A and B are shown apart, each in its own frame.
Chain A
């Protein structure tokens, strides 16, 4: 069932995001063509060239923002608006619905990143491009020479962390919308309220940490010393622990929001 849900969610994303991604590639291509017909010391040329660069940057930003907004809007529309009457009468569990929406959002987030990367490659095609790839290859080679397979582990951990971080951000939005739909009216407003509440809680926790650090500096100094000593003795293990621990925290947080959203959808659905 998840496969079927993903198929239809994919279609709903594709029809909106794919054209934008193609536009980005188109602008990048135009930018490259402009560079090919360079006219030195021409103010008109430099205006056109700068405009195409600005346009490309704006298109990339719009695409990234649109990916996030679309992920949130499709979740709300598909599950808590009139489309929810169809979605929730399909023989599918709430977990499957959330998982499918999350999967498609991640696929398109990856698609957006890839599109932007390809657009940069097109716009810088030629010497700049070759130099950039050479530099990246050199840095990676150096890394492998120095730390060997640890480099692969780092790259893998960073990738997992990025995926889990995006999943967590999306799950926070899903959670807010799920709580928001409980309201008899002004559901979106409540969802924003919940988001603001979560932000406030994290700020309070952060501030509390700073206050504790000010009140008991010795305790923090001791903690810092212990960590610094451990990091010095086990350099690689320490950085792996930081990356994996961070990823695990993202996973746990996302799992909590997933479970709450699922429970709300299962036991407190309020399609009014």
Chain B
């Protein structure tokens, strides 16, 4: 046999990994440039072939050589189900795109009432179920390395310390584990990606799929046509040499009974759809539904090709190894080695490495996403971590998750891996995936299926899986005592894991499939039928099952959020979890087609869809369950509540019982409620309508007066004696109306001869009333008033249907009341806003309207308040003697108080400028003046004051704690900050303001600014800073002052990512021309 040097293997492997990484990196770059490689259906098909792991690559031949054709059903099942992808897979893809689903666990959690518990359970089981499979891949790589390094050593033997340069304790599998974990992080968790799509990863997987196919087919051709003379020759030689092994080509044998064959087909069908990595590649990473069509036949064709040479290689291996099957799992590798084909063997090794690496990378990324979203997030949310921006922590948790999952696989491999043939470990994972099948298929085809059913069926299915498959595999590897298998737990033979309830005579997979699906499916159906869904869950079910039916979701229109958060608050919430920039991008996409009113807010319906949108966006990052918890907690914390808008026809069943007349009254009332009339006239007209249509003698609406706790008449229609209808009512259970209000139920008396409340009976009978009803008017669950209707002409007027109608009308009156209150609040807000607007206009007028344009100097200034009014101030004063005073000041805060201080500052300066000749004296005077005012108001002022003399170009200046202005010296091409000693106003009585002077030359630029510029923050809390400002100034030295200011403002906005500033921003630039 040929020996390939370790160096060669390591170098080739590393080169190969580098190639894959380069391809992945290239794909990511293409995506960013908008020319995605995933628009190619070939890549989608090839990436699905991640199904073929090292188990296929090495294990199939091993299986074919030892037990026969039972490697085939693993690929026949997927071929069969691929036929239905256009219906099944496309539906899963469509649902996932619409719901922003990130993983299999998210899909289930999302469908079943966004249940966080279900998400966590699925995640746990997926991790448990997939770990053996990852172990299997590590084992394959480690063993092939062994074969390459030490071909003469007899195998299999425990792998240890095989890479020659490494110390004995570290085996090659461990190195590979770490490498694959690193790759998972590089491809899958470089940054938190919305919607969990990783283009680079997919393209890398597709490339690996191509490589493994090429490698396997190459070996196949080499064995079939190089070592032997074609298929027929192989079969003939085999028959001659091993006439007793014809069972390898038959089904229904002791090795491959028909039941096992059937079992394998079923679980492989489940595995291709519901293994988390398959779900990820096929559903989450699907770029275009049309690709499914192509994949439907191309993927089975791939499977066919990769299986075509399994039998020839197996037979070739047996023929050349004299029937020895101990190394059958690695015939693919040992045959080229034995035939002195080192390069072919190396290609095979790379193929196997591809098969294993792709699976481990995608699985670990997928599982880490699930762990993050369904195990870690709920805990984070429970703990209510108050961090400003969680996105940084989340990505690191995800990275940790990837390494954790791979290491778990390694642990399994160390503990149990060596005792089992490759293929058996894989089947354990397949069976785990099959446990998701009922809940997954039910999710998109059975509306009635609910979360209890899904939670219990999956849990039970897994319990049976653990008991009938995982525990026996532990026992067989000697990890736990095999007594359990032989005698059952505590000697109860009925509970033997491999012959549960006495079911014997089947292989362990069939046995496990039968029992696990029996419990799983049984509980799923039973619980679904026996328990009820909440309204919210019903909605989710419809979204999933009827995804292809055009839905105009009526429910959204009927729900609103009371005390709804504003757009900004929603954005802040999103930023916390996904980072600020993505949140801004998302919200602008959402707002693109929405109408925003003049107050910058949305109407009720759009706010509700914004809530849904926020939840969906968050779901793309943290999963549906967590997203729901986040929003619910958030809304609850703010005191916001979801409430139903009154559905005018919702509570009335339209059958024979309701007359056309009733319907038209309902319609008219709803028209009245939504009309532009005043509240009072709405109420009056509703009562008129009732009295007229239903011949009531008296209709009254009373509302609660909270101070006196009495019901006051708001509107009344009809005749009344003795002020019966007009009087107020106390709240007590003694009267019908009081009881109706206090217990929030409709009170009906159809015959006043049978009154039970003596307090009411006298007056009612005196009025001649024969029947009446009191209906509570409810607002946000609380009664706020009563609608009463009285009749003198007949008894038994109030039938159940009629009461339902009146209740409906009472509900609509509640809406009218709420609208009225809201309008009241709106008017108030608008008035305040108008006042602020006036204040703003006055304040802006205090700043110089235009700056003088002179021959010698150019000046430009700008002030952008953060809110309507601000505390920034700048000014430019021309003295009679040709000196110019320039001042810039910043009053802390940006409210009316700051604005008043700013106005006071200006008045002081303007009135005293003639008497005070230099900056230091001016600051001194200002400080004395402000000392008391500022002390009382908790405000403080910083100011920079300078005076420029055109004649001698001298500049004198003083500073009261303001940011030092920047001076660009044209001659030396340098920036010099102008600073002078001095404290902010309002702290000390005696402050010594230093006065400095300097000379300005033509080309010099002086830039004064407030801290709003240098303290502008980007999303990572980085400050814009003085350095950036200085850089800008030196770059823009040729510009005019106005251009300079505009440029600075643009750059600061670009830096923060906002148009809007958090603090007032003021800039003043002066350029010396002569």
A, B: real partners:
no
Q: Interface of B with A (CB < 8 Å)?
A: none
Chain A residues close to B by CB (< 8 Å):
none
